[in-house]
């Protein structure tokens, strides 16, 4: 388990790296990037469910339940954004597909 200054250092390094990577992506690709990252973020839902399954105290169960709710919301949001993004690429002439 990473604790203390090492955790803060990793958090700051991850934030800086994420900012630098995202700032170099063209604006037109932000929506697909966000959609894909939200979809992949579904692994957090699995982790939250595993953590909730191992929770023993009421406090741990409460935090695990909130984590499951937030992770599920994020995964669903990824699907919704992807659906809206795909709707933008469909033809507006009324044809199927």
- Joined together, the tokens standing for residue 87 give 């709707």
Cβ contact 75:45 at 8 Å: yes
Rg value, the chain, Cα: 18
| Per-residue pLDDT tens digits of the chain, which is 97 residues long | 667 898 899 989 999 998 898 888 888 787 777 777 776 778 888 988 998 999 999 999 999 999 999 989 888 888 887 788 778 777 766 555 5
Q: What is the pTM of this model?
A: 0.58
**In the Cβ-directed half-sphere of 16, how many Cα atoms lie within 13 Å?**
6
């Amino acid at each position: 388990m990473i604790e203390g200054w090492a955790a803060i250092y990793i958090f700051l390094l991850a934030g800086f790296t994420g900012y630098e990577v995202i700032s170099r992506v063209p604006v037109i690709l932000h929506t697909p990037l966000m959609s894909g990252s939200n979809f992949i973020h579904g692994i957090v839902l699995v982790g939250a469910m595993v953590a909730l399954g191992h929770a023993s105290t009421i406090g741990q169960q409460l935090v695990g339940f909130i984590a499951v709710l937030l992770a599920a919301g994020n995964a669903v949001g990824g699907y919704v954004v992807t659906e809206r993004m795909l709707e933008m690429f469909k033809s507006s002439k009324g044809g199927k597909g």
